[in-house]
Amino acid sequence: MSSLTGEIVSQGIVIGQARVYRDFLHEDFKDEPVSSNPEEEQKRLERAIEKLDHRLDETYQNVKLSLGEEEAEIFRSHQQILEDPGFVGEIKKGIEAGTRAEKAVQQVTRLLSEQFKNLDDEYLQQRAADMEDIGRQLIEFLMNNENQGESSDYILCGTDIPPSEFASSMNSGILGMVMEEGTGFSHTSILAKAKGLPSLVKVEGLLENVRDGDRIILDALDGHVVVNPDENTLKKIQEIRSDWENKKQKALEKANEPCITADQKTISIFANAGSVQDVRAALENGAEGVGLFRTEFIFLNRKEAPSEEEQYQIYSEVLKMMKDKPVIIRTLDIGGDKDVPYMNLPDEENPFLGLRGIRYCLENQEIFKAQLRALLRSAHHGNLYIMIPMISMAEEVREVKAFLNDVMNELTQEDEIFEEPRYKLGIMVEVPSVVETIDHFVQEVDFFSIGSNDLVQYLFAADRIAPNVKRWYDVQQIALYRMIEKVVAAARDAGKEIGVCGELANNQQIAQLLVSLGVEKLSMSPAQIPMIKSVIRKLHAGDLFKKWKQHSSRHSTIDGLWD
């Protein structure tokens, strides 16, 4: 029996057999030339491409239905790689030169992946992982080794499991996931959180200690993996697991009840969503509103921008589903990090600091106008909040308000019976300049929502998904919470609503700290809502705030705050 430690991505406790992910990209294929006709190898490649394209389409549809369009979008981008004539063309050249198809795919994938990794553009560096994922799957089909379904009760283990492997496992008997590397912000981790499967990353020594078929305990409450546990350990963990499952069930049963802390502070628990399916899941898990509806997924994977009418139908449906509950719809948040040909997005060295979000919209007013018209028309169907992303200065807000007013006047003139809708206007707090001039913004907007993912990224100058700077993307740093505390105090003093819609709200301990700092609304993955509500109901926010003040004056991180 051995025990390993890791970083928790999604909580829970499961016991099952290990299934170690096999990385075909690093198989030792022989270099012998093809003895048969190269044309037959080309046909094998084409059949594998066709099968993989079909699998990616199925995976996209399955993930979209079960988790939502936001989580599914990565598989559309994978299809774009598969359709890239440069990628496939280089593989075919290798086959023509007498290389087996498997080896040709491996060579080209490794070469192109390495080229991406060596680029200065961090977004393009991330494309290397997508390229490798496609290469692995192509080899898998060439070897006729694709998974046709798995036995139940297994825990997926690997160095850094690609999202396609996790997604294809979701329809089988997967209980949880453990990675030796990876981060809590990777595509795979996001899928695991959305699915609510217990998961750990950064488990050092995992593949040295775990083999296919080993019985393992995945304790994603305490952050441990126990390999081949003895009977005494199994008995103890089964008791802990039983207690956890009871807590989850009780939390779900009370999910629709109000969330009031032990010291009588009422907190609104909202859901993040990117599709109508996500909104259904939000209601099933007791969401009191939608804290972030991401509209960019309406614009992706298509040849032209969605029409005003198409957007109006989607926004109206979401508002009707939520009835009188608040629905915060974020305007288009897109930039050069996304592949959207019809938008003519600029080719930038660092798209995260480029023409994205509101910057792009104000430069492309026809697209922005269509979205605002759709939003204003849909406002009559529910409780609409319009949120503007990537704001960095108060002048941008005033420009947006003037543009909104023009759009409203245009709609009124077109339709004599169109009444001015009631809605609230707010911004995402994700750029540090907003925090430092928050007193300017409280005069301009109705509400604030802290986008913690990007706020951390910009605060510490560290890309949240770049593995080479992951130590600097640190949500434990006191600096982050001092910024949040400053925004919350300013919003509260001005009588403005304030919430958090980033990944921080999914963490049970950090959610408690946010509430103690005065955050009124937390928005998270629908699956996390019942347990977060349960935890916050037991919180003495005033007591934790006192501990925070003492702790933050002496320490640089929040480690130890709950001791």
Whichever domain contains 335, its CATH number is: 3.20.20.60
Check: CB of residue 519 under 8 Å from CB of residue 491.
no
Strand order in the sheet with 2-5: 2-5, 224-227, 215-219, 13-20, 154-158, 174-179, 199-201, 7-10
The pLDDT of residue 168 is above 80: no
Q: How is residue 477 annotated by DSSP? A: B
Q: Supply the mean pLDDT for the chain.
A: 88
Q: Is the pLDDT of residue 321 over 80?
A: yes
Provide the terminal-to-terminal Cα distance of the chain, rounded to the nearest Å.
Answer: 29
Q: How confident is the model at residue 286 (pLDDT cuts 50, 70, 90)?
A: very high
Q: Are residues 383 and 314 in the same domain?
A: yes
Same domain, 444 and 336: yes
Instruction: Name every residue whose Cβ is closer than 8 Å to that of residue 361 and which is 6 or more positions away in sequence.
Output: 331, 332, 367, 368, 371
501-539 pLDDT, tens per residue? Answer: 988 998 899 999 999 999 999 999 898 999 999 999 999
Residue 348 has pLDDT above 50, yes or no: yes
Residue 359 and residue 248 share a domain: no
Under the banding of pLDDT at 50, 70 and 90, the label for residue 479 is very high
Question: If you search the block for the tokens 């590397």, which residue do you land on?
Answer: 181
Classify residue 108: in a domain, yes or no. Answer: yes
Q: Residue 145's pLDDT is what?
A: 60
- Boundary-marking domain end, from 195, 221, 253: 253
Percent of the chain with pLDDT over 90: 55
Please give the pLDDT value at position 126: 67
Which two three-digit tokens encode residue 207?
């593949």
In a domain, 39, yes or no: yes
* Pair 81, 211 in one domain: yes
In a domain? residue 563: no
Per-residue model confidence as pLDDT tens digits over 238-262:
999 999 999 999 999 999 999 999 9
> In the predicted model, is pLDDT for residue 66 greater than 70?
no
How many whole angstroms separate alpha carbon 534 and alpha carbon 519? 17
Based on the fold, state whether residues 201 and 277 are members of the same structural domain.
no
CB 261 within 8 A of CB 545: no
Q: What is the pLDDT of residue 150?
A: 47
Token digits of residue 416: 């004599």
Average pLDDT over residues 540-551: 96
Domain check: are 85 and 47 in the same one? yes
Same domain, residue pair 15 and 70: yes
540/83: higher pLDDT = 540
At 171-198, the pLDDT tens digits run 678 899 999 988 777 778 888 887 889 9
Q: Of the segments 75-79, 126-130, 284-288, 332-336, which one has the largest average pLDDT value?
A: 284-288
Among 210, 225, 253, the domain-final residue is 253
Residue 508 included in any domain: yes
Q: Is the pLDDT of residue 167 over 90?
A: no
Average confidence (pLDDT) over 79-100: 85
Q: What is the pLDDT of residue 113?
A: 84
Please check the confidence at residue 122 and state whether its pLDDT lies above 60: no
What's this model's pTM, rounded to 2 decimal places?
0.77
Q: Specify whether 279 is located in the same domain as 144.
A: no
Q: What is the mean pLDDT of residues 552-558?
A: 95
Q: Residue 213 sits in which domain range?
A: 1-253
Instruction: Please report the pLDDT score of residue 55 as a whole number.
Output: 82
Read off the pLDDT of residues 426-472 as tens digits, 9 standing for 90 and up: 999 999 999 999 999 999 999 999 999 899 999 999 887 676 787 89
Q: What is d(CA 111, CA 125) in angstroms, rounded to the nearest whole number?
A: 13
Looking at the domain assignment, is residue 460 inside a domain? Answer: no
Residues 288 and 231 in one domain: no
| Predicted confidence (pLDDT) per residue in 137-154, tens digit | 888 888 776 554 445 679
- Residues forming the active site: 187, 501
User: Which pLDDT score, from 0 to 100, does residue 458 have?
Assistant: 95
- Position 283 scores a pLDDT of 95
Q: For residue 149, give the H/E element and its range.
A: none
The arithmetic mean of pLDDT across residues 465-494, rounded, is 91
Q: Are residues 113 and 2 in the same domain?
A: yes
Residues 215 and 313 in one domain: no
pLDDT of residue 149: 45
Please tell me the predicted confidence (pLDDT) of residue 134.
87
- Nearest Cα residue to 426 out of 499, 489, 484: 499
Angle at 459 between CA 457 and CA 461, to 5 degrees: 60
Average pLDDT over residues 351-377: 94
SS3 content of the chain, % helix, strand, coil (to 5): 50, 15, 35
Residue 272 lies in a domain: yes
Point out the domain boundary residue: 213, 233, 253.
253
**What's the mean pLDDT in 371-396?**
97
Q: Which amino acid is at 399?
A: E
The domain that contains 75 carries what CATH number?
3.50.30.10
Mean pLDDT is lowest, of 34-38, 213-217, 543-547, for: 34-38
Instruction: Say what the pLDDT of residue 74 is.
Output: 77
- Do 31 and 101 fall into the same domain? yes
Query: Average pLDDT in the 271-281 region?
Result: 89
Number of domains in the chain: 2
Q: How many C-beta atoms lie closer than 10 Å to residue 523's C-beta? A: 28
Q: What is the mean pLDDT of residues 220-233?
A: 94
Per-residue model confidence (pLDDT) at position 475 = 92
